[in-house]
Structure 1
Amino acid sequence: MARTGPDHKTRQPFLARPGVRRLVPFVLITAVALIFIFENRSDVEIRLLVPIVTMPLWGALLIAWALGMLACVFTVRRRSSRHSRQPR
């Protein structure tokens, strides 16, 4: 029996929900990035200002990816908190 009264909420399709629509690109980009990172397993030399460090390329890529994700989190958090304050 279907309800059609004013108190009945209509359900949105799963992919039409705003939270899911924001999460899908993140999951796809993360999956592709992790595949790329773990396919590159050779050792490389990286110069960190003065010292030269030899490490697996996947480790360097994983560190760069994590720093990028951290920068995104801080940017989104800063932007949302800036927009939440409305001038009166």
Structure 2
Amino acid sequence: MTRTSPDHKARTPLLSRPAVRRFLPFVLISAVALIFIFENRSDVEIRLLVPVVTMPLWGALLIAWALGMLACVLAMRRRSSRHSRQSR
């Protein structure tokens, strides 16, 4: 027989927590993207408006991935600040 006190909180399973459910797809997609990035190791020429740069493909993909993550963070931050202003 288990005893439960009135102030004992029931623990929710890890995967049913909202924060984990939002974070899990991010982790899975990032892992697949990073595997794809580091598997592409050949050198490529990339045109940056005027100059042509030769660099490893993994470097270009990593820069694009990092810029995408930055854009996502900024969009989420902006959306959360907009929602907090509307709820007042």
Q: Tell me which interval the TM-score lies in, with the shorter structure as reference length.
A: over 0.9
TM value normalised by structure 1: 0.92
Letter matched to residue 3 of structure 1: T
Please give the root-mean-square deviation of Cα atoms over the aligned residues, in Å. Answer: 1.3
Q: What is the rounded CA distance, in whole Å, between the counterparts of 2:23 and 2:87 in structure 1? A: 30
Amino acid at match of 2:61: L
In structure 2, what is the equivalent of residue 78 of structure 1?
78
Which structure 2 residue ranges, 5 or more long, are not aligned?
none
Please tell me whether residue 63 in structure 1 is matched to residue 63 in structure 2: yes
Runs (4+) of structure 1 moved beyond 6 Å? none
Q: CA deviation at 1:9?
A: 1.3
Counterpart position of 2:4: 3
Residue identity opposite 2:58 in structure 1: W
The whole-number CA distance in structure 2 between the counterparts of 1:77 and 1:51 is 34
Q: How many residue pairs were aligned? A: 87
Deviations 1:3-26 (A, max 9, x none): 052x22111001111111111001
Q: Secondary structure at the match of 2:44?
A: strand
- Alpha-carbon offset, residue 86 of structure 1: 2.6
Q: Residue 23 of structure 2 aligns to which amino acid in structure 1?
A: L
State the identity as a percent: 79
Aligned amino acid, residue 65 of structure 2: W
Partner of 1:46: 46
Q: Secondary structure at the match of 2:50?
A: coil
Distance in 2, matches of 1:87 and 1:17, equals 23
